[in-house]
Amino acid sequence: MRVVVIGAGIIGSSVAYEAARAGAQVTVLEAGRIAGGASTTSFAWTNATGKRPQPYFALNVAGMRAHLDLAREFGHAPWFHQTGSIEWYSNEADWPAQLENAEQMRDWGYGVEWIGKARVAELEPEIDPAAIANSPVVYYPEEGWVQPALYAAWLLRAAKEKWNADIRSHAAVTSVDVRNGVAKSVRTVDGAVHEADAIVNCTGSWAAHVLDGVPPIPMASNMGIIGFTFPLATTLRRQFHMDDLDVRPDGAGRLMIHKISADSLVTEMQPLETAGAQARHLLDAVRRVLPAVQPDDMESIRTVVRPIPSDNLTCSGWMPGVEGYYVAVTHSGVSIAPHLGKAVAQEVVRGHAHESLQDFRPDRFLAAKNGLGERS
Ligand SMILES: Cc1cc2nc3c(=O)[nH]c(=O)nc-3n(C[C@H](O)[C@H](O)[C@H](O)COP(=O)(O)OP(=O)(O)OC[C@H]3O[C@@H](n4cnc5c(N)ncnc54)[C@H](O)[C@@H]3O)c2cc1C
């Protein structure tokens, strides 16, 4: 069976690896660099906390477990860091919601530990205890973080070396050739035609754009800003989440910084200055928790589009009306990717519906568009 995967972010790489492993002859067509879309500029925290409804939580947990399986399978998994993560809120008004969420997560079988400041100091001595003050602190031991570019590189290398997958970067797909309702091939920008028995669209936020021949997926993607410090003499291993600030190590001593309130400072992709207002906003917040970080420690700061299907949930399944054309697009893609890769391969290559995807089919968008009602 010939499978063409469009897009080589963390989702496309996972689908390509699992489809090749399941026996398909896989071709990956990536418009730019491998993992050069949202995946490289993602906070990339593997988690399911706060994710609702329950089937979406379960999908994220399945992803977290699949990361562990994949790391075991490769033996050496330099992309994966299951360090656990630490969360607290400085404002007392946020504590009831934190407690309610932690209890819900625990009821659903998620690892949740309440820890004191002394334990935080043992785990991460660079965190200033004054920044925690008397806030309750939750430790989520199963969570971790991923370096998606390395993830994609290792999976695609394995797909190529073990199962002869054909991986092409700088090969943007411009159209899907559909004849009598069946997707037959894709055409790339250089005019090359790749015939396929199944085509899997893994283009993230670009799924909202029209590829000639097939319908788009309605997306509510939004902007994110991620800052990277210079390599610092830091021993921080775990990510922490304080209020709307997220910080984690990013290899070689760099810290990655994300702050939800900073995201709204931009409305489109644009170059940002390392000494600009957005960078200051991020660094000021970090320095209140990690006093060793200096005001001029920002090495780079980037904008990125966060791929989000319009109802915030994963979209994975065959596109109704276009036989042989499958779409796999999601937010939380880093958490879900290795599971989604397996589930999509089962559906596309083996032809068996995967139970975990039943609530996330693309037809819900078409039904809503045609006035056929909302999904329950
Ligand atoms: C700021 C931010 C923070 C995030 N934090 C987290 C987090 O903590 N945890 C988590 O799980 N998720 C997080 N996410 C979401 C996660 O990063 C995404 O869900 C995931 O990266 C999506 O992967 P993808 O492969 O679908 O998309 P992408 O990585 O965007 O890959 C899509 C690829 O398709 C290619 N493409 C597009 N059009 C074409 C075409 N016509 N032909 C060929 N190729 C094409 C693009 O070039 C791109 O490489 C975050 C995202 C952002 C932006």
Q: Which residues neighbour 281 within 8 Å (Cβ) at sequence distance 6 or greater?
A: 259, 261, 262, 265
Residues with CB under 6 A from ligand 1: 6-12, 29-32, 36-39, 41-45, 172-173, 202-204, 206, 224, 226, 258, 304, 306-307, 329-335
- Over residues 129-155, the pLDDT tens digits come to 999 999 999 999 999 999 999 999 999
CA of 40 to the centre of ligand 1 (A): 8
pLDDT band at 366 (very low <50, low <70, confident <90, very high): confident
Helices (H), 27-90: 54-74
CA of 151 to the centre of ligand 1 (A): 13
Please name each of the domains of the chain with its CATH number: 2-51+148-219+310-369 (3.50.50.60), 85-141+222-306 (3.30.9.10)
CA of 96 to the centre of ligand 1 (A): 33
Atom of ligand 1 nearest to the CA of 203: 34
- Over residues 176-200, the pLDDT tens digits come to 999 999 999 999 999 999 999 999 9
pTM for the full model?
0.97
CA of 216 to the centre of ligand 1 (A): 16
What residue has token string 């994963």? 314
CA of 39 to the centre of ligand 1 (A): 4
Burial of residue 373 (number of CB atoms within 10 Å: 0-12, 13-18, 19+): exposed
Please list the residues that pair with 46 across neighbouring strands. Answer: 144
Q: Annotate 49-65 with three-state secondary structure.
A: CCCCCHHHHHHHHHHHH
Q: Is the pLDDT of residue 357 over 60?
A: yes
Helices (H), the chain: 10-21, 54-74, 95-107, 117-123, 129-132, 148-163, 260-263, 277-287, 333-345, 363-369
Structure tokens at 70: 């994949």
Residue with the smallest CA separation from ligand 1 atom 35 is: 7
State the average pLDDT over residues 330-351. 98
Given this model, what pLDDT does residue 210 score? Answer: 79
Q: Considering only CA atoms, which of 260, 259, 264, 236 is closest in space to residue 248?
A: 236
Atom of ligand 1 nearest to the CA of 11: 25
Atom of ligand 1 nearest to the CA of 205: 30
Q: Are 148 and 334 in contact (CB under 8 A)?
A: yes
